[in-house]
Amino acid sequence: MKFINPYFIAVTTLLAVSCTSQKETSSLKDVYKDDFYIGTALSADQIEEKDAKEDSLICKEFNAITAENIMKSMFIHPQKDKYDFALADKFVAFGEKNKMFIHGHTLIWHSQLAPWMEKIKDSTEMKAFMKDHITTIVTKYKGRINSWDVVNEALNEDGTLRKSVFLNTLGERYLVDAYKLAAAADPKVDLYYNDYNLEDTAKREGVIRLVKKIKAAGGKIDGIGSQAHWKLNSPSIEEIEKSILAYSALGVKVAFTELDITVLPNPWDLKGADVNQNFENNAKMNPYPKSLPDSVQNKLAQRYAAIFKLFLKHKDKISRVTFWGVHDGQSWLNDWPIKGRTNYPLLFDAKLQPKKAYNSVMEIKAVKE
Ligand code: G3I
């Protein structure tokens, strides 16, 4: 019998370890496996698996993915007769390889449009655009993408419809058309409406009206995605709960699709603050450039614990909880609403280490529900 060096076996086994074959210690996705999917948004670099450490963290902790930017219309449909599916293909392949729930973000959104789309002038052109755009993209990933944000951020804060190139050219019917086109292209995929501040009363009522209208007009809508870009002290747990109950009463799934919690001051909260004033390099507005003090770490951990406790209470209504990014270093909140700050909104720090907030989300499951 040929002798095989045990060291060689150990090394090759280590090299062969992939996402799906990792020997798991406990992780978010395992701890919450009977409750809802635990997702993350992936940057282009993460989709391309450029950093092995990030890649392995993604695989260990999450079982659902959303592309943070690359499926938005300016990237996927840059010119009228040109689609670019290169990164979207990699994103879907990444999810399939790792047996993850794959969410598509987003088909119809007024922002990050390709310049040519902004110039669509009338209803005929817009109808043709929507048919081509939605049908082409949804058909391309039919049976491979599990759910889509069909329409993103169509509402103003008072619950009325936001002015956009879609509303301006087609009127309200663009909403129903979008859901009908998506359902025709893939009848089995779950179709979501996705927006932020959905815990505010006026916007909540706007979403309820919108979903009812789509359903009444024969559109298929399966879920509401609350983006959940939240703060340490708002929205209140009571308002979040009211929304979960109100949305699920419509007979649709509820997902939290872009969860993060800012710990930094907001220029709009400052009395008399001029939002046009230059806040960059202002120490007051960027109080923790090096590290987050324990007192704030604790507040963040408590806030996440309270939120996940509520999610567990309503796990029968919640399909997915997705964080908007893997770690603090990649968060959009480092650059918004003020560029170049250091924010700490997620469960992993910029060095990929779990924070107190991670432990608190894990520990909630150890407490009897
Ligand atoms: O790719 C360019 C890069 O080439 C360039 O050097 C760099 C300079 O600033 O910009 C890069 O593009 C940025 C892009 O993110 C990729 O990082 C854009 O400037 C920046 O505006 C863009 O921001 C994205 C934002 O959507 C755009 O609206 C954020 O990453 C993304 O997290 C954010 O996500 C949205 C959701 O889609 C919808 N809900 C709200 C959420 C947060 O705004």
Helix runs in the chain, H state only: 6-16, 28-31, 44-47, 52-61, 73-76, 86-97, 115-118, 123-140, 165-170, 173-185, 201-216, 237-248, 294-313, 356-364
Q: What pLDDT tens digit does each residue of the chain (369 aa) get?
A: 333 444 334 433 343 345 655 555 799 999 999 999 999 999 999 999 999 999 999 999 999 999 999 999 999 999 999 999 999 999 999 999 999 999 999 999 999 999 999 999 999 999 999 999 999 999 999 999 999 999 999 999 999 999 999 999 999 999 999 999 999 999 999 999 999 999 999 999 999 999 999 999 999 999 999 999 999 999 999 999 999 999 999 999 999 999 999 999 988 876 665 656 666 667 889 999 999 999 999 999 999 999 999 999 999 999 999 999 999 999 999 999 999 999 999 999 999 999 999 999 999 988 755
Distance separating alpha carbons of residues 162 and 181, to the nearest angstrom: 21
Structural contact between residues 288 and 351, judged by C-beta atoms closer than 8 angstroms: no
CA torsion angle 175 179 180 181 (round to 10): 100
118 an active-site residue? no
26 in a structural domain: no
CATH of the domain at 112: 3.20.20.80
5 in any annotated domain = no
Structure tokens at 257: 């699709």
| Domain, as residue range, for 105 | 31-268+282-368
Domain membership flag for residue 222: yes
State how many domains the chain has.
1
Nearest CA to ligand 1 atom 34: 68
Please report whether residue 10 resides in a domain: no
Instruction: Spot the catalytic one: 258, 280, 363, 369.
Output: 258
What's the chain's length in residues?
A: 369
CB of 242 within 8 A of CB of 302?
Answer: no
Residue 286 DSSP symbol:
-
Q: How many helices (H) and strands (E) does the chain have?
A: 14, 9
- 3-state SS of 316-341 is CCEEEEEECCCCHHHCHHHCCCCCCC
Residue ID of nearest Cα to ligand 1 atom 36: 68
- Is residue 122 in a domain? yes
Can you tell me whether residue 255 is helix, strand or coil? strand
- CA-nearest residue, atom 15 of ligand 1: 69
CB contact at 8 A, 59 and 19:
yes
* Substitution candidate for ligand 1 out of 43, 69, 74, 149 with most atoms within 8 A of CB: 69
Measured N-to-C along each axis, helices 237-248 and 294-313 cross at an angle, to the nearest 10 degrees, of: 30
Concatenated DSSP letters of 84-137? --HHHHHHHHHHHHTT-EEEEEEEEESSS--HHHHT--SHHHHHHHHHHHHHHH
